């Protein structure tokens, strides 16, 4: 029988900072990696602990941040930090808002530490509780600890406290064990210590780090849990750091999927968001980006140079050099190269959307082919139909969108234009260049007749001396049958255009 998972009473996420170094109109913690905002990833890690309460402390761009947080986790308590600066005050106002929180363990973390995992937080909580500590701080060791608070230890290795960079002596700045800012506290001990924290420091702030020294002086147990995975405690203060964290997150995601049976030909050029789902024996070729809630089924091949967002790909399908959003691609279907699938494109099993094709709000039946150079929007197309080269559904009249319906076993000639609303019934044909303005019955052929005019000698008259005129003269000299008369129209022939 597995041991019972220890759950904290609350998690407090500090998200009040302005983030000026990001140089952005968007609040820092709303910047994202892996398809999620930093605060979204922090909330995922926190809620994975299954705490009784979660509180997020906000200040800068308060309403925008609060709305984003509540969209991600609706039952979070939003707490406003007041004018008193510092992490200690931020935690204090959270505890003041959580009036019913009187016992148990509270975890404190940050909204800009996106790689922090639930598993590491769980290890922190379990150690804190099992050792009976009043405070346990998560630390790591860095080759360059500049800017971080340093962990002060006594000769026996126990934690004495934390000193911030600006308050540290030269000797203390040589310490390479740094504070992550992530803690587990006894609620009662934390409440009592915060009341005694002052703002007498270089920054004039109420430091949360001072709590450890106060508890230590009271004789309480204070400990540090050291992680060797520094990425999990790295924060992002500017876009350079955010990019580095994004690259590391992607490396971890790609590695996870390769170990699960996915072939990734070039991990460095392949980007996979956190919510993407992949099955075994999927192959991802170079330059592939899978975003949102994209799902790829077993045996499918995606790429190269393909971006799929919120798109599902069926078993055995092939998607090459394609941009698709909110679309569904059926089993063993083929898409691309150079296809653009917009919202609500549904391609049936063994169907095809070929080169230089754009689709939007269209349902395409099984084994139907839209091979090249066309547009299908606001349409329903049946099964086993072949749509010729250059076909267009003309769905917009300048005010409203209209629907085109094309049945099963239909064959359309090259450069057919469907003027919606219009319906082409099962088994019908269209001739090359047809403009379909009226419904076509089942099994019928529709063509658009226009005379073909020929003006003999036009090149010699209008382009004398040109290369074309020279070629025409040579061709005329070698031909005994050219009489220059216009030919009458023959019977209309459908051109499937494949």
Torsion from C-alpha of 179, 183, 185, 191, nearest 10 degrees:
70
Count, in order, helices (H) and strands (E) of the chain: 9, 37
CA distance 223 to 226: 10
SS3 of residue 338 by DSSP: coil
418 has which bridge partners? 393, 436
**CA atoms 215, 216, 219, 221: torsion sign:** positive
Q: Which residue is catalytic, options 60, 372, 402, 438?
A: 372
54 has which bridge partners? 11
264 has which bridge partners? 284
SS3 of residue 159 by DSSP: strand
CA distance 187 to 181: 17
The verdict on whether 31 is a catalytic residue reads no
CA distance 304 to 265: 10
CA distance 377 to 117: 43
CA distance 381 to 386: 10
Tokens of residue 218, six digits:
């009271």
Long-range contacts at 115-118 (CB < 8 A, ≥ 24 apart): 115/41, 115/231, 115/232, 115/234, 115/245, 115/248, 115/249, 115/252, 116/41, 116/42, 116/45, 116/182, 116/232, 116/233, 117/45, 117/48, 117/232, 118/44, 118/45, 118/46, 118/48, 118/49
**How many residues does the structure list for the chain?**
498
CA distance 115 to 171: 31
User: By the 8 A CB rule, do 293 and 276 touch?
Assistant: yes
CA distance 197 to 207: 7
With a CB cutoff of 8 Å and minimum separation 6, the contacts of 259 are: none
Number of Cβ within a 10 Å radius of residue 329:
31
With a CB cutoff of 8 Å and minimum separation 6, the contacts of 371 are: 352, 354, 355, 357, 386, 387, 388, 389, 497, 498
User: By the 8 A CB rule, do 378 and 344 touch?
Assistant: no
Q: What residues are annotated to the active site?
A: 372
């Amino acid at each position: 029988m597995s041991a019972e998972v220890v759950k904290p009473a609350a998690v407090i996420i500090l998200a009040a900072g302005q983030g000026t170094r990001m140089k952005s109109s968007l609040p820092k913690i709303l910047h994202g990696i892996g398809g999620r905002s930093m605060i979204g990833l922090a909330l995922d890690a926190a809620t994975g602990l299954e705490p009784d309460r979660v509180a997020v402390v906000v200040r800068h761009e308060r309403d925008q941040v609060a709305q984003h947080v509540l969209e991600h986790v609706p039952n979070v308590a939003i707490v406003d930090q007041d004018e008193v600066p510092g992490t200690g005050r931020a935690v204090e106002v959270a505890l003041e808002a959580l009036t019913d929180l009187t016992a148990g363990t509270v975890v404190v973390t940050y909204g800009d530490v996106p790689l922090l995992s639930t598993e590491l937080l769980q290890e922190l909580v379990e150690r804190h509780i099992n050792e009976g500590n009043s405070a346990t701080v998560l630390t790591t060791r860095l080759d360059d600890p500049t800017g971080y608070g340093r962990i002060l230890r006594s000769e026996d290795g126990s934690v004495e406290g934390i000193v911030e960079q600006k308050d540290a002596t030269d000797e203390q700045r040589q310490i390479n064990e740094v504070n992550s800012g992530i803690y587990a506290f006894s609620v009662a001990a934390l409440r009592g210590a915060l009341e005694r924290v002052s703002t007498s420091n270089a920054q004039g702030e109420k430091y949360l780090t001072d709590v450890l020294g106060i508890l230590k002086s009271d004789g309480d147990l204070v400990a540090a849990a050291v992680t060797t995975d520094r990425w999990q405690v790295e924060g992002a203060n500017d876009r350079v750091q955010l990019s580095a964290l994004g690259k590391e997150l992607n490396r971890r995601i790609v590695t996870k999927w390769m170990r699960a049976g996915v072939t990734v030909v070039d991990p460095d050029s392949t980007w996979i968001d956190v919510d993407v789902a992949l099955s075994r024996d999927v192959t991802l070729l170079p330059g592939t980006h899978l975003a949102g809630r994209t799902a790829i089924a077993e045996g499918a091949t995606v790429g190269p140079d393909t971006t799929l967002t919120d798109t599902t790909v069926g078993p055995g399908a092939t998607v090459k050099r394609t941009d698709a959003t909110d679309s569904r691609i059926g089993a063993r279907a083929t898409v691309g190269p150079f296809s653009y699938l917009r919202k609500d494109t549904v391609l049936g099993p063994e169907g095809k959307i070929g080169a230089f094709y754009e689709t939007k709000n269209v349902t395409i039946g099984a084994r139907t082919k839209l091979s090249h150079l066309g547009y299908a929007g606001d349409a329903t197309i049946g099964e086993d139909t072949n749509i010729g080269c250059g076909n267009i559904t003309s769905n917009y009249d300048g005010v409203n969108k209209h629907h085109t319906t094309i049945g099963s076993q239909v064959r359309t000639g090259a450069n057919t234009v469907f003027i919606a609303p219009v319906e082409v019934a099962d088994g019908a044909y269209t001739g090359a260049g047809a403009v379909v303005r009226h419904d076509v019955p089942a099994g019928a052929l529709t063509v658009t007749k226009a005379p073909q005019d020929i003006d003999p000698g036009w090149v010699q008259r209008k382009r004398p001396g040109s290369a074309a005129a020279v070629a025409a003269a040579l061709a005329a000299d070698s031909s005994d049958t050219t009489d220059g008369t216009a030919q009458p129209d023959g019977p209309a022939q459908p051109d499937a255009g494949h």
